[in-house]
Amino acid sequence: MVVGVLALQGSFNEHIAALRRLGVKGVEVRKAEQLQDVSSLIIPGGESTTMAKLAEFHNLFPALRNFVKMGKPVWGTCAGLIFLADKVVGQKSGGQELIGGLDCTVHRNFFGSQIQSFEADLEIPNLASIEGGQGTCRGVFIRAPAVLEAGPGVEVLAVYPVPPDSNLVDPLIESQEGEKKVIVALKQGNLLGTAFHPELTADSRWHTFFLKMASEIEEGASNSIVTIEGSQPTLDQLERIDLPIFQ
Ligand SMILES: NC(=O)CC[C@H](N)C(=O)O
């Protein structure tokens, strides 16, 4: 399995570095034909309107949509999540092209502007039960989107409370205590979406989760994950690796 990382704009280098720390080779994807050489794809965070313009300029959308429709594993983080959503609100005037496929509505800048970026611990029971480790992960939210509603086929992997000053009328999830929440991580078949940036933390569980998901989807196929020769780290080594931003 070769993991492609859409490398038009945004945090593609950080995803490739996160994969490298797991001993997995990530390949930069900038052209439609390069999608034929990868079996899964990460769409990084960045700025979705700019990324969409670049994707349009390089005529990438038909190939990206086809990749999703073929059932290939795709993980969108932040702007990448916006790309994967079937419906987006809060777009710049004129909107932007989307890949679609993830049955949900995303608010593009739900948590506000750049200066309202924040970090928070997120409860991740499903992820922790599969990947082990503690029951929370650090969410780095940079001008982050949120999922306002999702279809029945969507598995919710993390939620976050709606800020009290939000003008959102009808969030999807209301807890027993009446607290309103939005979805910030979700999965539907071959598609994974996170509104935050796991590639900016030392916690590799979202990447290992995606790699497992991709392997499962590809099960039976002859190709397996391409590792960087001689660099497969032991768990012990992984713990000692320097962090890009947050521990
Ligand atoms: N960190 C991010 O990817 C921010 C995404 C941003 N809200 C957008 O519209 O594109």
User: Does ligand 1 have an atom closer than 6 angstroms to the CB of 81?
Assistant: no
Q: pLDDT tens per residue, the chain (247 residues)?
A: 789 999 999 999 999 999 999 999 999 999 999 999 999 999 999 999 999 999 999 999 999 999 999 999 999 999 999 999 999 998 777 778 999 999 999 999 999 888 989 999 999 999 999 999 999 999 999 999 999 999 999 999 999 998 776 665 555 566 556 678 999 999 999 999 999 999 999 999 999 999 999 999 987 554 455 566 555 444 444 444 444 454 4
In this prediction, residue 237 carries a pLDDT of: 46
**Cα distance between the two ends of the chain:** 29
In this prediction, residue 180 carries a pLDDT of: 84
In this prediction, residue 219 carries a pLDDT of: 78
ipTM above 0.90, yes or no: yes
In this prediction, residue 94 carries a pLDDT of: 73
Active site residue 78: yes
In this prediction, residue 163 carries a pLDDT of: 74
User: Does ligand 1 have an atom closer than 6 angstroms to the CB of 73?
Assistant: no
Q: Given 78, 107, 207, 218, which residue is catalytic?
A: 78
Q: Given 14, 15, 104, 197, which residue is catalytic?
A: 197
Atom of ligand 1 nearest to the CA of 45: 3
Q: Which domains does the chain have, with CATH numbers?
A: 3-240 (3.40.50.880)
Active site residue 197: yes
User: Does ligand 1 have an atom closer than 6 angstroms to the CB of 142?
Assistant: yes
Active site residue 199: yes
Q: What's the pTM value of the predicted model, to 2 decimals?
A: 0.88
Mapping DSSP onto H, E and C, the string for the chain reads CCEEEECCCCCHHHHHHHHHHCCECEEEECCHHHHHHCCEEEECCCCHHHHHHHHHHCCCHHHHHHHHHCCCCEEEECHHHHHHEEEEECCCCCCCCCCCCEEEEEECCCCCCHHHCEEEEEECHHHHHHHCCCCEEEEEECCCCEEEEECCCCEEEEEEECCCCCCCCCCCEECCCCCEEEEEEEEECCEEEECCCHHHECCCHHHHHHHHHHHHHHCCCCCCCCECCCCCCCHHHHHHCCCCCEC
Residue 142 assigned ligand-binding role: yes
Residue 48 assigned ligand-binding role: yes
User: Does ligand 1 have an atom closer than 6 angstroms to the CB of 47?
Assistant: yes
In this prediction, residue 66 carries a pLDDT of: 97
